[in-house]
């Protein structure tokens, strides 16, 4: 029988990689992680709490979205806040499924140093499938998969599908998971970020459950990253970066699982994606800092609630161009009121006409333009 997948090789799971090839990227990722930690340390309690809530909410929502499942953002945020004893005023009530999904991530990140056991994994799996069903299909919950049928990852129409990967037979899963968990919980001489990359690949290759493997894989990865940076609070979302490159994510996994025990390419892709996630978070934090500085400098400037609302929207990431029509829609006011608000801010040197848009004038926040131009240099 020819070897098709890495788990079929006699050397499995003795992974190898080229340290020289990834050394620079690994160092840069650690450097950005240190920079992120430094920025967070300057935040006040409210800023830090909101940034943490945003990051862990995005991680949960986007991890589910990678699998095609859409969760309500506000419901997830409310559940995270409630379970961590943080303020959640004004957020919607949560449902039991979201509560379970959030419990998994909170347990993984807040108790990252605790050993990962099969019992703990079974608890996470049960929280993902509280009814014992995945959609309309009954599955084995809180236990390794039992089916004698091959566990295949496929795409395409019935009868014309393509097999991307076939996981180990069910009878091999208990032994493989014992080996995986022993390695995961052991103190070994592996850089913690590389260990997170290996854990991700190793778990998803075993595919130990009938469903939910991708989400649990990314949960384990978050646990390993929490161990790596020594912080229970998450300030970046790896799943958000993976979601932006979902096609590449599945392609590199497929290539690696059909390759050899040399997983350098996978580790490199993982570190590149992690680096992007951290840098993206730093950029958002820089905006938060600049936004706070803006309001500090304009503490004595007279602005009404409509103006404050739109200015905050611009700092938080406004899509498209700002014009008087959008202003009126955001603030639920008349066009004339919107124009008066805009002209008032222009006179105070806060907004300016972009000179674009023809008859429909567009406006921009001067401080934000300066900030974005500085970020590009």
Per-residue pLDDT of the chain (377 residues; tens, 9 = 90+): 345 899 999 999 999 999 999 999 999 999 999 999 999 988 888 888 888 999 999 999 999 999 999 998 888 988 998 888 887 655 666 677 899 999 999 999 999 999 999 999 999 999 999 999 998 999 999 999 999 888 888 766 566 667 889 999 999 999 999 999 999 999 989 999 999 999 999 999 999 999 999 999 999 999 999 999 888 888 999 999 999 999 999 999 999 999 999 999 999 999 999 999 999 999 988 888 888 899 999 999 999 999 999 999 999 888 889 999 999 999 999 999 999 999 999 999 999 999 876 667 899 999 988 887 765 54
The DSSP symbol for 172 reads G
Burial 194-223 (b: 16+ CB within 10 A, else e): bbbbbbbbbbbbbbbbbbbbbbbbbbbbbb
Write down the H helix ranges in the chain: 19-41, 45-66, 73-83, 96-110, 118-128, 173-185, 192-206, 213-229, 238-244, 246-257, 264-297, 305-317, 324-331, 335-347, 366-376
Q: How far apart are CA 377 and CA 368, in angstroms?
A: 15
Determine the pLDDT at residue 36. 94
| 290, two tokens | 């600049």
Q: Do the Cβ atoms of 228 and 26 come closer than 8 Å? A: no
SS3 label, residue 365: strand
Closest CA to 140 of 113, 166, 170: 170
Q: How far apart are CA 8 and CA 13, in angstroms?
A: 10
Determine the pLDDT at residue 287. 87
Write the DSSP assignment of 221-244 as a string of letters.
Answer: HHHHHHHHHT-SS--S-HHHHHHH
Determine the pLDDT at residue 359. 67
Determine the pLDDT at residue 21. 98
- pTM attached to this predicted model: 0.85
| 67, two tokens | 């699998």
Q: Do the Cβ atoms of 77 and 237 come closer than 8 Å? A: no
Q: How far apart are CA 211 and CA 80, in angstroms?
A: 24
Q: How many CB atoms lie within 10 A of CB 10?
A: 7
């Amino acid at each position: 029988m020819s070897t098709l997948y890495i788990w079929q090789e006699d050397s499995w799971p003795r992974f190898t990689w080229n340290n020289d090839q990834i050394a620079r990227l690994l160092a840069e990722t650690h450097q950005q992680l240190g920079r992120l930690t430094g920025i967070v340390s300057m935040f006040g309690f409210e800023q830090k709490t909101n940034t943490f809530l945003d990051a862990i909410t995005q991680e949960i929502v986007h991890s589910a979205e990678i699998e095609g499942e859409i969760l309500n953002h506000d419901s997830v945020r409310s559940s995270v806040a409630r379970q961590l004893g943080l303020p959640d005023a004004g957020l919607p009530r949560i449902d039991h499924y979201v509560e379970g999904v959030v419990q998994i991530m909170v347990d993984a990140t807040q108790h990252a140093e605790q050993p990962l056991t099969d019992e703990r994994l079974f608890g996470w799996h049960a929280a993902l499938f509280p009814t014992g069903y995945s959609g309309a299909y009954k599955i084995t919950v809180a236990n390794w998969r039992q089916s004698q049928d091959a566990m295949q990852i496929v795409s395409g129409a019935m009868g014309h599908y393509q097999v991307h990967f076939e996981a180990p037979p069910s009878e091999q899963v208990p032994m493989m998971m014992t080996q995986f968990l022993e390695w995961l919980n052991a103190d070994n001489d592996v850089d913690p970020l590389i260990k997170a990359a290996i854990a991700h690949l190793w778990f998803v290759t075993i595919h130990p459950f009938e469903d939910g493997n991708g989400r649990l894989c990314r949960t384990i990865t978050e646990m390993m990253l929490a161990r790596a940076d020594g912080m229970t609070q998450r300030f970046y979302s790896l799943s958000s970066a993976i979601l932006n490159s979902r096609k590449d994510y599945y392609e590199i996994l497929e290539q690696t699982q059909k390759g050899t025990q040399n997983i350098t390419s996978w580790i490199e892709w993982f570190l590149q994606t992690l680096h992007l996630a951290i840098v993206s978070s730093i950029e958002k934090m820089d905006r938060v800092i600049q936004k706070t500085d803006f309001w500090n400098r304009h503490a004595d400037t007279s602005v009404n609630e409509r103006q404050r609302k739109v200015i905050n929207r611009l700092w938080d990431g406004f899509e498209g161009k700002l014009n008087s029509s959008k202003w009126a829609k955001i603030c639920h006011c008349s066009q004339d009121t919107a124009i008066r608000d805009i002209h008032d801010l222009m006179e105070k040197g806060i907004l300016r006409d972009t000179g674009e848009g023809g008859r429909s004038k567009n406006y921009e926040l001067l401080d934000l333009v300066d900030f974005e131009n500085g970020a590009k240099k």
